[in-house]
């Protein structure tokens, strides 16, 4: 989620939409990859929980596309609504009693109508101050590697169109990149748009948020070197230079702070400052690979490609212990690679790349 005190301008727009009974019932948070859409969605979920207004949340992940289907999405939403809202629960239970095949049906439109649309429309007694809000993150990751060409994605967008026809009081918050099929849907669907900009269009508030995040992360690194780094390392001027280099991309900031924390911070930072910033993530990722794996042998490169290829292409996320066994590799080789990729990959137990840009 967002660091406390950041993203205020975006969150205020979202909160205002949520409280406005006359606003469209869908808000689309749109942004370039890496600008922090999922972090904003997580912060909004936490806010809704504090108000007891979270109807349900669902975060699509490309690597879990086999499990995160559109049918699974609306079943989860129906289950969560039934748990938190007794009037809706009564209507959902009535639908299931009338037709026990609904949860397993392949007909997405039928499932959405019977478990979501009809129960919501029939639930007139819901208190105005505690109406449910649904959060769906990363529409663009629905359908896995097939993306907008997948049947799952087409079904998803069709049900979002159906949601827009519900009364305005039933709010749905979604995030995604600006991909053509999603843009086409919203070009003909009533909605509220909030956009997070990057590059030359980055807003001042986003830059301020990035500067605050950098200052916080570098202070934590400096605390590990009390005899050689000052508490305000690397200083305001460097923080502002890095902020400009980030061009609004939080993923770049996260990667460079992870990278700085993985070695001699002064040396790591000098290499970051010598780069081209977020305008070329490839250069940053190359720097990380070359620093973590200097002068790799042909044998090592082959092992590296096997491991990274398996992580990227696996239909189900793989565990750190199972992958070497699956590929018939030494566990020490695998662990060496995991350690070297910690700036861009989670390797505590399940192996997950932090951001699609690295892939």
pLDDT in tens, 76-92: 999 999 999 999 999 99
How far apart are the C-alpha atoms of 69 and 219, rounded to whole Å? 41
Q: Are residues 29 and 171 in the same domain?
A: yes
Residue 112 has pLDDT above 80, yes or no: yes
Mean of the pLDDT values across residues 243-270? 88
- The rounded mean pLDDT for the chain is 90
pLDDT digits (tens, 9 = 90+) for 295-327: 889 999 999 999 999 998 887 888 999 999 999
Q: Are residues 156 and 239 in the same domain?
A: no
Q: Are residues 255 and 338 in the same domain?
A: no
Q: How many domains does the chain have?
A: 3
Mean of the pLDDT values across residues 105-110? 94
Q: Are residues 282 and 154 in the same domain?
A: no
pLDDT value of residue 282: 77
Residues 121/123/127/133 CA torsion (nearest 10 deg) = -50
pLDDT value of residue 200: 61
Residue 1 domain-assigned (yes or no): no
Residue 2 domain-assigned (yes or no): no
Residue 57 has pLDDT above 80, yes or no: yes
> For the chain, what percent of residues have pLDDT higher than 70?
97
Residue 3 domain-assigned (yes or no): no
Say which CATH number the domain at 79 has. Answer: 3.40.50.300
- Beta bridge pairs of residue 31: 196
pLDDT value of residue 304: 93
Q: Are residues 266 and 334 in the same domain?
A: no
Residue 2 has pLDDT above 90, yes or no: no
Residues 6+ apart with CB under 8 A from 255: 284, 285, 288, 343, 344, 354, 355
Q: Which domain holds residue 42?
A: 8-196
What is residue 186's three-state secondary structure?
helix
pLDDT digits (tens, 9 = 90+) for 8-20: 889 999 999 999 9
Handedness of CA 222, 223, 227, 233 (dihedral sign): positive
8 Å CB contact between 143 and 72: no
pTM recorded for the entire structure: 0.74
Residue 77 domain-assigned (yes or no): yes
Q: Are residues 151 and 23 in the same domain?
A: yes
Residue 51 has pLDDT above 90, yes or no: yes
Mean of the pLDDT values across residues 57-83? 92
Q: Are residues 108 and 253 in the same domain?
A: no
């Amino acid at each position: 989620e967002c660091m406390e005190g950041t993203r205020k301008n975006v969150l205020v727009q979202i909160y205002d939409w949520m409280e406005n009974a006359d606003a469209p019932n869908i808000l689309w948070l749109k942004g370039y990859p890496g600008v922090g859409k999922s972090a904003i969605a997580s912060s909004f979920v936490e806010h809704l929980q504090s108000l007891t207004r979270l109807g349900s949340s669902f975060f699509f992940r490309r690597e879990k596309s086999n499990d995160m289907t559109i049918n699974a999405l609306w079943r989860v939403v129906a289950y969560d609504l039934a748990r938190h809202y007794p009037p809706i629960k009564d209507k959902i239970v009535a639908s299931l009693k009338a037709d026990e095949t609904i949860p397993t049906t392949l007909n997405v439109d039928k499932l959405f109508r019977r478990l979501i649309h009809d129960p919501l429309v029939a639930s007139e007694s819901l208190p105005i101050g505690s109406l449910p809000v649904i959060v769906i993150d990363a529409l663009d990751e629905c359908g896995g590697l097939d993306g907008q060409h997948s049947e799952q994605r087409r079904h998803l967008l069709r049900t979002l169109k159906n949601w827009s026809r519900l009364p305005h009081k039933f709010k749905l918050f979604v995030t995604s990149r600006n991909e053509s099929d999603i843009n086409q849907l919203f070009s003909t669907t009533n909605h509220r748009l909030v956009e997070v900009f990057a590059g030359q269009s980055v807003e001042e508030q986003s830059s301020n948020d990035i500067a605050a995040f950098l200052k916080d992360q570098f202070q934590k690194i400096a605390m590990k070197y009390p005899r050689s780094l000052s508490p305000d390392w690397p200083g305001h001027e460097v923080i502002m230079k890095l902020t400009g280099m980030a061009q609004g991309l939080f993923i770049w900031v996260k990667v460079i702070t992870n990278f700085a924390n993985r070695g001699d911070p002064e040396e790591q930072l000098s290499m970051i400052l010598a780069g081209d910033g977020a305008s070329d993530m490839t250069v940053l990722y190359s720097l990380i690979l070359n620093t973590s794996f200097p002068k790799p042998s042909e044998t090592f490169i082959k092992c590296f490609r096997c491991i990274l290829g398996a992580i990227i292409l696996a239909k189900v996320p793989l565990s750190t212990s199972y992958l070497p066994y699956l590929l018939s590799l030494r566990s020490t080789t695998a662990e060496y690679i995991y350690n070297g990729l910690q700036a861009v990959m989670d390797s505590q137990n399940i192996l997950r790349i932090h951001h699609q840009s690295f892939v």
